[in-house]
Structure formats: structure tokens, C-alpha cells
Structure 1
Amino acid sequence: MLNKKNLNKIPKMKNINHIYLIGIGGSGMGGIATILAKQGYKVSGSDIYSNFIIKKLSLLNIKINLKHDAKNITNNIDLIIVSTAIKNNNPELIAAKKLNIIIISRGQMLAELMRFFYGITITGTHGKTTTTAIIYKIFKLFMLDPTFINGGFLKFSKENAYLGSSKYFIAEADESDKSFLYLNPIINIITNIENEHLDYYQNNIEILKKTFLKFIKKIPFYGCIIICIDNIHNFNLIKQNKNILKQNIITYGFHKEADLQLYNYQQNGYKSKFFLLEKKKNISLEINLNIPGYHNALNATAAFAVSSYMGLDSMMVIKFLKKFEGIERRFDVLGYILPYQKIKYKKNIIIIDDYGHHPTEINITINTSRKIWPNRKLVMIFQPHRYSRTKNLLNEFIKILSKVDKLFILNTYSAGENIIKEANSKFLTKKIKELGIINPKFINLKNYYDIVNNIYLKLKGNEVLIFQGAGDINHISSLLISNSIKN
């Protein structure tokens, strides 16, 4: 029987009592704050606005300042953790340096939290948040009580971090700023590698691939690399380096060379089914999921691979996979619009909230929606995330966004970046219009209510309304679904 008192065996950081997180409202930072608070440290922090994460942290008696101010940094703080989004001119960061307080990055802190655990990490451009969550759910249902930090919130428990009592630590490992190189897991999954966050890699995907190779080389010889070879970069990474990798390697995917090969994928509404050939055992297994999409079949297979490698009963794993409900903001069906009393025909409109902000992710959302609701029009409200991403992937965005029936583009969520005129929302709208497939509308509004009203009046009924993006667009979708619309 697991006993949470066993956590006392994990040594606390000597001379570290009060920990302050700058940018505490981010998903990764909030998860770290949660674990630290549960471990008994005094935790506080700051951000520039309140959100769901900050409200949850407040319930743990974590003091949060909604302003970055040098006065917040005092002599009784022993350690500062800094989000990747924080710039060098941040007043709190400057004040911490003047007081000679130890300053570390989010990635460094995650590595320290994982140091005394059996680490299982999930990396990749897409799918790592869902895959991490599925593995966590399986381990929980097997009563293994793992510690867990993720970039998204689970639907069944509304959590993105949990301090368990066992030796297992399951975490999403972020390649976006190279911070995954701080980690030393025993098992790592690579879902895929694509053109993303290349500003950290000299705009060169070859450097990104070399960094992934550097990371998986850190897996110990008794550890395991689990990798999807449907992705060409993953396939080549393993094929070209198999002789120098001493770890166990398990490949998965629809690819005919995969150790765990998916086939005969079927989708019925929001549910899906596929078969999995375990070539080593020469057996075929039927897997049913309550989440849709080829991508989620792959995510589930990665989770199956970890569980199987850990010696968990395969039939129980399959049973538990079916129990996974999904992640908030990952193809999250919020419900239906409640129509105005005076406009009866505006009804039966399905609202989807999706975090995807890369063309590949958006394409998956569109294709999955078409498959589930083939007779409905697709209306997408897209909020670009970062000017640099729009600039680097402009042609891909133009092509993919033209696949919906109606498109509204909001102002770019900058994430602290400077404006790039040839990559702003107005420019993106213009380029999509020039392609000539659809006639997108740029909504140059900032007030959520105004945006909601503007969109609502253009809906006709029998549509799927997709709110797409990684910024604050979810506030607009939640406002619409709650029917808080000005008459």
C-alpha cells in the first residue's frame, strides 16, 4: 500500500524555503508551483493577469502578485524560478539579481523535481500533452500513484499537476526552448518532430533534430526510447543512429516497420477504434477510445507502449484507455449555442475549443471535424499565436486555413513578441483571400463581447464553430457557450 509519508524520503533542497515564480500563471510554471507547495515549500509568484491556473494556485495558499514589480522581491526569498516568457528587463528579475538570489529556469526546476524519481517524459512537436495525460491516467488506475506535470488540464480531474506517493514521475518535456536537455528520464517518448520553435534553433530543423538526438542519448542504457516512425524526422533519427543508441527502442505507428503497428482505424462519431499488432508477441489487439482522430490513436499507442514496457497487464491497459476522457482545449466539445429568443433559426451550432496553433494541428482539427460532422459547415475563429510562427509557416497557414467553409481571424496573440507587419493578422487575412478559395474576415476588435456579437450575427445554423489558438481565445469561446451575449 502506498503511503504519502514516504515522500519525506525525498530530500528537500537545503537552505531553500521560500520559492518565487515569475510568470507563475503559465501551465508549466503553475504545475511546478503546485508540486513545490505540496512538498511543503513556501511558494509565491507573479503574473500580469489572472487566469484559471492562478485561481487554482490561490487555493493552495500561494500568494500571487498580478503585477511584475521590484517591490515583490524581498530578502526572505531563497530561490527565483523564471518562465521562458520573461524578458531580461523584467523588474523582478533585475531586483533578484541585485539581491543575489539564486535564479533558475522552469526547465532546471523540473529537472530537480524529477531527480529522485523514475522519470517518464513525453517530447515532440504535437501530441505530448494528451499522451502525458493518458499515461498518467493509466498509472493512476493501476494504483501506481505517480507524480505528474502537464501542459494541459485533464477533463476528469481538472488538474495539470499532482504529487504522488510512488517512485514514478510523468512529465511533458518541452523542446520549445531546449529546456528538455536539463532532464534525465529513464523512459522518453518522441511523438513527432516538425518545423516549430525554430527561433531557438537558428531557424534550422537539422539543429532541432540534433538536439532531440542529444536528449535521447541521455536516456540510460537500461532505459527506453519509444518513438513514432510515421513522422519522417523520427524515422530517420532512429534509422541513422540505431547503432549508437544503446537503449531499448520501441517504434510505433501506422508504418509497416513499426514494432507496434496500428491498422484498420475506424471512427464512429466522437469514438474511434483501431487494431494494434504487437510484432514481438505476434498478437493483434482491438483498442477502443472515447476520443477521435488518428493522432489520438497514436497518442494512445504511445501510452500502451510505455505501460507494456513497464510490465502492466495489456488487457487492463486497453480497458483503461477506453476510460480516458480527454484534455481541456484539445478538440474540446463545449456544447451548443443557446439562440437568442428572437432569432429561433440560429440554433444547433456545436462549439469546439482547440489549443492547436501550428498548421499540422489545425489540419487535424479540421479533418477530425469533417469526419464527425460531414453534413455541417465548418466555421473557424483563429487567433494566430506569435508573429514569428506566422512568418515562418505563412504558406502552410494559408493552405490549411483555406480548408474551412468560413474563417474569422482575430488579432495575433503576441506572447511578448514585437509586431511583424508582414506576419500580422491583417496580412494573413489578405494572403488567404488572395488564394481565392474562401473569403476570410479580419476582426479588429479587442473586447470579448464585441467579438462574440460580431461572430454570432454571421452564423446561420447547422455549423461547427471552432475556436482555434493557444492565446486567450478560450475566454471568447467560454463567453459564447455561456450565452453571455449582449442583446
Structure 2
Amino acid sequence: MRVPVPDVLEPVERLGRVHLVGIGGAGLSGIARIMLARGVEVSGSDGTDSPTLDALRALGARVEVGHDAAHLQHLEAGDTLVVSTAVNETNPEYAEAVRRGLRVLPRSAALASVMAGRRVLAVAGTHGKTTTTSLLTVALQAAGADPTYAIGGDLAATGVNAAVGSGEVFVAEADESDGAFLVYEPYAAIVTNVDADHLDQWGTPEAYAAAFDQFADGLDPEGFLVCCVDDAGAARLADRQEAAGRRVVRVTAADRSALGDTTLWAPGDHYVADALAALAAGEALGLPRADLLRGLAAYTGTRRRMERKGEAGGVRVYDSYAHHPTEIEGDLQSARLLAGEGRLVVAFQPHLVSRTRIFGAAMGRALGAADEVVVLDLYLAREEPDPAVTSRLVADAVPLPPGRVASATLASAAAELVARARPGDLVLTLGAGTVTRVGPEVLDLLADGPTDGPTDGPSGG
């Protein structure tokens, strides 16, 4: 559901009590953390309980599992309801807020409200936003800037996705999927890449690219734009913005020397580019390179971004959020380097009907860089199913022999992976949905002992 952004965006201090519908999600949970730290009375609800909800309760939030109009009884005129894009018009809490005339904000406006009064550095791009925002955050922390931050994933070192710092800088992941990044007016920004996605929202690749120009046009005239120009879309954006008089800093993974002898937490050209973008932004703020590099070297990753889940039976297990062909290519490059002499066994869960319809075949081709592939059923998320769009669009396009490609359900995926993995291999689970549950199941099965070979489940490709 698309909730309109109000013409006047109030700072968080003027929102009254705030109730967040979908408070357990990556975006709203971070906003809730910042609001709680700023002294706002926060409540919320989510469909299922989770460690995230427990953490918010520990910070003082009143959090309910399930959605019910009664959860808004404590709100009065002048208070605020915030909704995620996953919430629809039939949600009883949203309907009750509208009936009572409460202020209703989308996620983007709520984030803008907590940004008010800070010097915002926004990180945008089709891929790599979360990792780059995380790298920038830890680099600025090491340089003494102590930023407030809101990231679309939990930092491995702290276990949280947002916190209030004492400095003037606010580092924010700026999401283009629903146009949220157009609500912000940052001082400066990083754009990692501009690679067509979310065409259910934007319609065409051209409209998608134009949205990034609109985003960049909103930067402070005194600010700057960092672009990772290994990506053609970001390179074109850099050229257009520089021609318009914007201060533009270009970075490329080919300039690895700028990182000196810094060892990053994971290999891969796209992670090098992310680190270089964070370094460039920090230096553009006037912070010392040596301190920024110390932060980049100390970075230990972000949950669901090439996250090491563990090792059992001689098999290493990683999990990552990749759900677009370009992201799959990048993470398989990184995983191949991590695997060394071992094989790469990958489970991929396609995400969204619209994305799979457009990019399914390209996803399958990208998965061909693995040695063994298991394709899970399509994760529907916010869209209605389409009988013509299934995970077969992906599996049938994987350029590997049929015996090395299998289809599986979420429930059978772990057993399928374990049957294929051998000591020395690396198992990687990929996707933006529930596939993240599979890695721990793989480790549990591996700890119980070896299997005899692939299962008899359906295969294809």
C-alpha cells in the first residue's frame, strides 16, 4: 500500500506517540530504535514474534503480535501511525487510524522525521546499499564522527540496524524500491549502481534511471555525490550530475590501491567498490583516510550479506540477500573465492512474481557459476501468484547438467543441499525471502552425519 507523504514533514518531536505497523521489519525497526532513543513513546505490531521484537520491548516499546484495532487505544489526536509498504488497506490498525483521523505516515516520511536537523549522507543504488551504508557507518565511527545511522540490516558487530550518535551526521540507507529515497533531502549521497529493478513500481528502465537523477537533484548544493562508475548506470548519472554543476566523486574497483593493505571481511570486486565508496564519502567530509581505513578493516559484516553461518562436517555455510541477477553474479564471485579448492553449492529462492517474470532467465544464467544449484519455490511477498511465473523460469535457465540442478520446497531444501555437499565445499543460500532459514538447518543436518547423495526430489535445468 502506498500512503501519501504529507506536504509538511514534521520532526520526530512533533509526532506525538508513534505506533508502527510492521515494526519488526528491517526499515521500521530501525526507525523505532531511533525514536526510542530520542524519547518518543513507541508502540507497534507485527505478524509474528521475533528477536527484533524482543529487543524493541527491552528498549521500552510496547509491541503486539498480530494486528488489531484495539492496539491503537492509547493513541489520541496528534499521535502518529507509521506503516510499511507491506501493509494493505484492510489492515485493522490502518483502518482504525484513518477512521479516527490520526496522522498516518509511510516509512519514508517517518525516516525523514528522525533525520530532521542532521547532516544526512544517504546511500542509494540497486545493489549494495546495505553493505555500503554499513561500511560508511563503521568508517565514520572509527574517524570519531559518531553518526546516527539507519541500515537495512543488522551490523554483525553490534547486532542492531540503527542507533543514535552524538555527531551531526546521519547515515541512512535510501531505498528506491517504492520511491522512498525521493522524500529525503540529503546533504550528500552515494549511488552504488543504477541497474533496472522494481519495474512493478517504475514501469520502465528509463523511468527507474530517471528517479536516481531526481534523487541526486535533491542533494544540498554544497554537498557531493559519490558514484561507483564500474556500473554504467551510475557512470551516466555521474556525468549528468557533474554537467549540472554537482560535485561528483567517482570510484572504481580498479583503484583498489586506495585501500592500501586493508583486508576486507569478504572478497569480491563489488565489495571493494562498496568500501571505496565509503572511503571516498568519508574523505569528502574531511575525515582522515587512516582513521577511515581502520574502520573499514574492523568491519565484520552485516546480517544476510555474505554472512558466515558456520561450519559442520567440513562444509562451510554462508547466507546472502542476493535476489537480482547482478547480485547473484557478485555473491557467487565472492563465494567462489571463499570456497578455494572446494565446490560451490547454492540454494536460491526467487523473490517476487514481477522480478521473476522479468529476470528469471537471467537469474538462472547467473547461477551457472556454481557447481550445484537448488532452486526453491518462488517467494511471493507482496504480490498475487501467477501460474505462468514459477521458479521453473529460473531452474530451466541454469546452464548446468540436469543432475546438478534441482528444485525444492523450503522444507526440503536443506536435505537437498546436504545430499549434494562434500567436505571442503561451501554452501551458499541466496534470496530476499525465507531461504535464510535453510542455512542453520543445513548445519544441523551436517552435524548429524553424511548422507549418500542427492535426494529423489524433482530436478530440472
TM-score by length of 2: 0.89
Residue in 2 aligned with 1:392?
A: 358
Residue in 1 aligned with 2:456?
A: none
Conserved? CA contact 1:289–1:324, under 8 Å: yes
Conserved? CA contact 2:339–2:425, under 8 Å: no
Residue in 2 aligned with 1:239?
A: 239
Conserved? CA contact 1:220–1:247, under 8 Å: no
1:294 is aligned to 2:303: no
Look up the equivalent residue of 1:466 and give its one-letter code. L
Conserved? CA contact 1:382–1:469, under 8 Å: yes
Look up the equivalent residue of 1:220 and give its one-letter code. D
Residue in 2 aligned with 1:101?
A: 102
Deviation at 1:486, TM superposition (A): 7.9
Q: Deviations over 1:65-94 (max 9, x none)?
A: 221222323262510001011122222211
Residue in 2 aligned with 1:57?
A: 56
Which of 443, 467, 471 in structure 1 is aligned with 2:408?
Answer: 443
SS at match of 1:422: coil
Conserved? CA contact 1:388–1:420, under 8 Å: no
Deviation at 1:230, TM superposition (A): 1.2
Q: Deviations over 1:135-154 (max 9, x none)?
A: 11122122222110000111
Give the total of aligned pairs. Answer: 438
Residue in 2 aligned with 1:222?
A: 222
Identity rate, percent? 28
Change (3 A) 1:482 1:64: farther
Deviation at 1:457, TM superposition (A): 3.5
TM-score by length of 1: 0.85
- How far apart are the structure 1 equivalents of 2:74 and 2:100? 7
Conserved? CA contact 1:453–1:485, under 8 Å: no
- How far apart are the structure 1 equivalents of 2:107 and 2:378? 25
1:379 is aligned to 2:345: yes
Deviation at 1:452, TM superposition (A): 2.9
Please list, as runs of the form range in 1=range in 2, the aligned pairs for 1:252-401 lying within 5 A after superposition: 252-254=251-253, 262-263=254-255, 274-276=256-258, 285-337=260-312, 347-401=313-367
Change (3 A) 1:12 1:51: closer
1:478 is aligned to 2:436: no
Deviation at 1:459, TM superposition (A): 3.1
Residue in 2 aligned with 1:162?
A: 163
Change (3 A) 1:434 1:167: closer
Change (3 A) 1:134 1:101: same
Change (3 A) 1:434 1:213: closer
Deviation at 1:319, TM superposition (A): 2.7
Conserved? CA contact 2:362–2:397, under 8 Å: no
Gaps of 5+ in 1: 1-9, 255-261, 264-273, 277-283, 338-346
Whose relative contact order is higher, 1 or 2, with alpha carbons under 8 Å and at least 6 apart?
Answer: 2
Conserved? CA contact 2:346–2:429, under 8 Å: yes
SS at match of 1:89: coil
Q: Deviations over 1:422-458 (max 9, x none)?
A: 22224533x23687566422213x54xx543343234
Determine which structure has the larger helix proportion and give its number: 2
Deviation at 1:417, TM superposition (A): 1.3
Which of 394, 397, 403 in structure 2 is aligned with 1:428?
Answer: 394
SS at match of 2:388: helix
- How far apart are the structure 2 equivalents of 1:311 and 1:175? 28
- How far apart are the structure 1 equivalents of 2:264 and 2:74? 52
Gaps of 5+ in 2: 1-9, 450-461
Change (3 A) 1:363 1:124: same
Determine which structure has the larger strand proportion and give its number: 1
Look up the equivalent residue of 1:230 and give its one-letter code. D
SS at match of 2:266: coil
Q: What's the C-alpha RMSD, in Å, of the aligned pairs?
A: 2.2
Range with bigger deviation, 434-443 or 50-59: 434-443
1:31 is aligned to 2:30: yes
